[in-house]
Structure 1
């Protein structure tokens, strides 16, 4: 198991990635119907980023409990 500082760093990095993925999805939605073909791709990236973030947050909570 990673130490707490490494977990915090990983959560911070994953949070930034998830936030960027959320913004990319938002931007795509604002441009619709232009680039509608990218909906599944962009949504999958956002889903994966948030899934990883939630898993890392859970791991961090367990490590600090």
Structure 2
């Protein structure tokens, strides 16, 4: 498996993780004010998931243009 293929597979997994985090944050927002104490934790996990996904996409773009 090439580096590009490996990175694409990793991006696919990260994308699913990011979408799951997004849905968790969305669900939490609909339940407010219940569980308001977890807002920062859930938001941080969502932020981290999307940041990692964006970094991997940039890595892929760099590999594909090289």
Using structure 2 for the length normalisation, give the TM-score: 0.94
Q: Deviations over 1:11-32 (max 9, x none)?
A: 0000000000000000000000
The root-mean-square deviation of aligned C-alpha atoms, in Å, is 0.9
The separation in 1 between residues aligned to 2:16 and 2:38, in whole angstroms, is: 21
Task: State the number of aligned residues.
Answer: 64
Residue 31 of structure 2: aligned partner: 31
Q: Deviations over 1:20-47 (max 9, x none)?
A: 0000000000000000000000000000
The separation in 2 between residues aligned to 1:63 and 1:51, in whole angstroms, is: 19
Consecutive aligned runs of 4 or more in structure 1 exceeding 6 Å deviation:
none
Residue 60 of structure 1: aligned partner: 60
Unaligned runs of 5+ in 1: none
Residue 42 of structure 1: aligned partner: 42
Unaligned runs of 5+ in 2: none
